[in-house]
Amino acid sequence: MADVIRLLLVDDDALVRAGLSMMLDGTGDIVVVAEAGDGREAIAAVDAHAPDVVLMDLQMPHVDGITATRRLRERPGAPEVIVLTTFDTDEHIVHALRAGASGFLLKDTPPAQIADAVARVATGGPMLSPGVMRRLMDRTVAQAGAYERARAALAALTPREHEVAVAIARGRSNAEIGAELLMSVTTVKSHVSSILTKLALDNRTQVALLAHDADLV
């Protein structure tokens, strides 16, 4: 029994928990030590049962899966967390991984793959479903492309215009920019106009977004 993985199931749907328990508890390598209906119960269950791995839903009452994952992973000796959900938007994936999840699977993942994921993360390895991995790769490529394009566009600015663009991205008004950069408001307006022309943009918000894409703020 020393090699058996202790698993906590967290989902607000009792039928989902029952199905997962039936599938995973019979593998021989995994024992479901507890179930929880939301993130708040999950934290209490971790304290009571010391699981090795938590299979965590995202959308739950009281405390959602992202918050529960973050709170658990901040603790010393925290269990590994695999998010198992029907939601696969970029936002959900990135937030879950940033919160400390070691895996992200969709609920239509075959039972054998879920069991394999539990075994992998129990030994410290990450586990993402193929679809999620592709989404992350596409997101990374898109972000890299946006970063390069933004950097290339901003290279057309003078050093002073560059400073003004960064100040715009930080939400500064013309008067605040003038005070920070020691120039008159009229000069700031002139720089802003030049920035918009050079970058072929329509407004300050677009300048701010470009500066964010270039990772300047």
SS (H, E, C) 72-138: HHCCCCCCEEEEEECCCCHHHHHHHHHHCCCEEEECCCCHHHHHHHHHHHHCCCCEECHHHHHHHHH
Q: What is the pLDDT of residue 99?
A: 86
Q: Which CATH superfamily is domain 5-135 in?
A: Response regulator (3.40.50.2300)
The residues spanned by each domain of the chain are: 5-135, 145-213
Which SS3 state, helix, strand or coil, does residue 173 take?
A: coil
Mark the ranges of the chain whose per-residue pLDDT is less than 50.
Answer: 1
**Architecture of the domain delimited by 145-213:** Orthogonal Bundle (1.10)
Q: What is the pLDDT of residue 204?
A: 85
| CA dist., res. 149 & res. 131, Å (int) | 27
Q: What is the pLDDT of residue 1?
A: 43
pLDDT digits (tens, 9 = 90+) for 104-133: 898 888 888 999 999 988 887 777 776 776
Q: What is the pLDDT of residue 199?
A: 93
Q: Which of 26, 20, 71 is nearest to 45 (CA)?
A: 71
Check for a shared fold between 5-135 and 145-213.
no
